[in-house]
A and B are shown apart, each in its own frame.
Chain A
């Protein structure tokens, strides 16, 4: 398979791969997946689109991720102006399913301890944190997560908090990355909202006019090669990323559903596994 793909490579295509690698060195370990994805494009326009999107991609390897964990700790300790005796560092989870905010909180624990905050209250489940808040002592909340997409989940949490809180509170947020339009949607609900890597929509906010409609048409065309329905999950819900977020972001963790599904959707239209360049684990997204 690789041999066949290689045989079909011309100079232009070789150079595009070669120029992409210094910017996106995470793809070095995904050579086969990448070449398979690019070679499955029907037109050179589709290939160009995928290369352009990959060039704009923000991928956090573990080294860089750990630096952002440090930044979250610095934000909480030095900038939030919250008191170690009143603060709750809160995740986004609402059930027992592990999620990215719990992963970030776990990574944050030793970093906070190293910086001298070793008795700070952390709560992985958002609903639980409201119960703790209502006891009246820990009333300064910092919501922490890896990524904010359209802001839908964050809005939902804030709504819940407002409904259930029986005492006064302050809430700030600290996210590693996220869509700017998602941040803008929820920012007024927070006393402060920090997002270290704000992202523009990968196509709509990068291209204009004809180029934009062409890119969207090409992406739509590419998405037709994916399995349209996996049990009750419809691809149309994820068109251009969940809530059309058009995200070009991932870390070594679970890829957010806001990312263009062409990069992570698990099956092609013939129900074969695709071996995509990114992996998303989501309940119900398996045949």
Chain B
């Protein structure tokens, strides 16, 4: 059973919601059809509970989301696990960039003395 992009969206949205979500909400947000939402709910019935027509994440589901680090907010850099992060640099702190990874555009600009 492979998890797909849609499953993750539904699970993460439910994880983030305080008071559960109606299936229709996924149509409003992403235009997921009734069958699309239903399939994910059935596939992950261990992690999603249906009560009175509303969907909630289960305790097992919360654990699953946290363990797999599916939650992130603004951009993909928010997904970097804590153990790979170094202490944040203060503004204007000098550091040595890895030249191989610096974009060529920046290097070229510096050649022209306007960088």
Interface residues of A (CB under 8 A from B): 2, 6-7, 9, 11, 14-15, 17-19, 21-22, 27-28, 31, 35
Contacts and interface: CB of A to CB of B under 8 A. Distances in A.
B23 A18 contact: yes
B39 interface: yes
A11 B53 CA distance: 13
Nearest to B50: A22
B33 interface: yes
Interface of B: 23-24, 27, 31, 33-35, 37-39, 53
Contacts of A28: 35, 38-39
Nearest to A35: B33
Residue among B27, B34, B53 having the largest count of chain A Cβ atoms under 10 Å: B34
Nearest to B39: A28
Given A14-B27, A15-B24, A15-B53, A21 B33 contact: no
Contacts of B24: 11, 14-15, 18
A232 B31 CA distance: 44
Contacts of B27: 6, 9, 14
Contacts of A22: 38
A21 B53 contact: no
18 contacts: A2-B33, A6-B27, A9-B27, A14-B23, A14-B24, A14-B34, A15-B23, A15-B53, A17-B33, A18-B34, A18-B37, A18-B38, A19-B53, A21-B34, A22-B38, A28-B38, A28-B39, A35-B33
Contact of B31 (A6, A15, A21): A6
Nearest to A18: B34
Question: Chain B interface mostly helix, strand, loop or mixed?
Answer: helix
Contacts of B34: 14, 17-18, 21
A137 to B, nearest CB: 53
A28 to B, nearest CB: 6
Contacts of A31: 33, 35
Contact of A17 (B31, B35, B53): B35
Nearest to A34: B35
Nearest to A5: B33
Given A18-B23, A31-B35, 17 more contacts: A2-B33, A6-B33, A9-B27, A11-B24, A14-B24, A14-B27, A15-B23, A17-B33, A18-B24, A18-B37, A21-B34, A21-B35, A22-B38, A27-B35, A28-B35, A28-B39, A31-B33
Contacts of A7: 31
Contacts of B23: 14-15, 18
A2 B34 CA distance: 12
A19 B37 CA distance: 12
A29 to B, nearest CB: 9
Contact of B38 (A6, A11, A21): A21
Contacts of B31: 6-7
A7 B31 CA distance: 8
B41 to A, nearest CB: 9
A35 B33 CA distance: 10
A103 B41 CA distance: 35
A8 to B, nearest CB: 12
A22 B35 CA distance: 10
Contacts of B35: 17, 21, 27-28, 31
